[in-house]
Amino acid sequence: MATAAIYGCAGETLSSDEAAFFRDADPWGFILFARNCGGTKQIVRLCHQLRETVARNAPILIDQEGGRVARLKPPLAPRRPPMDRFGELAKLDPEKAKEAAFLGAKLLAEDCRNLGIDVNCVPVLDVPQPGAHDIIGDRALSTRAEMIGTLGRQVVDGSLAGGCLPVIKHLPGHGRALADSHLELPRVTDDREELEEVDFAPFRALADAPLGMTAHIVFDALDPDRPATLSGTVIRDVIREGFGFDGLLMTDDLSMKALTGRFRDRAEASLNAGCDVVLHCNGEMAEMTDVAEGAKALEGEAARRGDAALALIPRDRPDFDRDGAEARFSELLRPVITV
């Protein structure tokens, strides 16, 4: 039985220590970063090595959003625009924006699947607010909550059409954060009514997504003592009951500096709060070993959600007219792309 964890690895090949750790820890999945991606054949081989350690077709994740968040860079995959371009296009032609968002997500998914990667951590559903930290910025689909929900639906559907599971992030919303949670713990002081009307709306609209990722942010109006990742109140009352989200819920990276304390404690607290799976990204063996001590078997409702998500990944992909898709995508975005 897999454990409720997703791990990264240190480099482009697995060390004997990493392989032994993954065999023993048996994580639900893995995640790749730029440090793991040196060449096409190498990435395919690494994906095979990772799955071989757990003796099953475990999901392999990546953050391939386009723009500044792209772990696969040319020549591994084409350069893609940031997703705010879809929102800019929507101001000119909403229907073309929807087509572009779908096609862009499908192309991203095809880029990933060609290398053996089958989960792409898109879309960002955060609603950026004036004065907030730019960690979200042009990663957001729009500045309007309703349009983020509309375009986010296209990104979810396009990802699935391209053979990758999408991950909605960062629940329940990162758009108001005044700090980067990679570096420190943000605190949002806005009232519940404002959050419900704006920040939560895109997540409610896409509550049927198969996978979601939490935000390491304290919301005073929800739980002033714990960040969302560690808050049973936020996960149970807001994400599960309020949004109606029944997909597999993973933490954001446990090694981000927004969280403190031992990694075992971070993992235990996240799972006890209601997260289904913990995510640890940097490949540091000592940290992963500590996380593994706090991780538990993926069972019950969490296992059901994980199985339901994996069942959506098509193992046989239909023929795809990449040249035609690339040409159409460029044509659609021409009005909002500046060279």
As a whole number of angstroms, the distance between CA 107 and CA 48 comes to 22
Q: Which active-site residues does the annotation give?
A: 182, 252
Q: How far apart are CA 128 and CA 32, in angstroms?
A: 26
**pLDDT of 338:** 72
The residue with tokens 């409702």 is 301
Q: What pairs with residue 212 in β-bridges?
A: 168, 249
C-alpha 11/C-alpha 71 separation (Å) is: 13
Mean pLDDT by 10 residues, the chain (339 residues): 97 98 98 98 98 98 97 97 98 98 98 97 96 92 98 98 97 91 92 96 98 97 97 98 98 95 97 98 98 97 98 87 96 88
Q: What burial class does residue 275 get, using C-beta atoms within 10 Å of its C-beta: 0-12 exposed, 13-18 middle, 19+ buried?
A: buried
Q: Look at residue 180 in the predicted model and tell me its pLDDT.
A: 82
pLDDT score, position 179: 85
Helical residues (DSSP H) of 114-187, grouped into ranges: 145-161
- Neighbouring CB atoms inside 10 A of 326's CB total 13
- Return all residues near 273 (Cβ < 8 A) that are at least 6 apart: 226, 229, 230, 231, 232, 234, 235
Phi, psi angle pair for 27, to nearest 5°: -70, 155
| Strand 64-66 versus strand 69-70 pairing type | antiparallel
Which of these CATH numbers, 3.10.310.30, 1.10.150.120, 3.20.20.300, 3.30.70.360, describes 3-336? 3.20.20.300
Model pTM above 0.85: yes
**Predicted pLDDT at 268:** 98
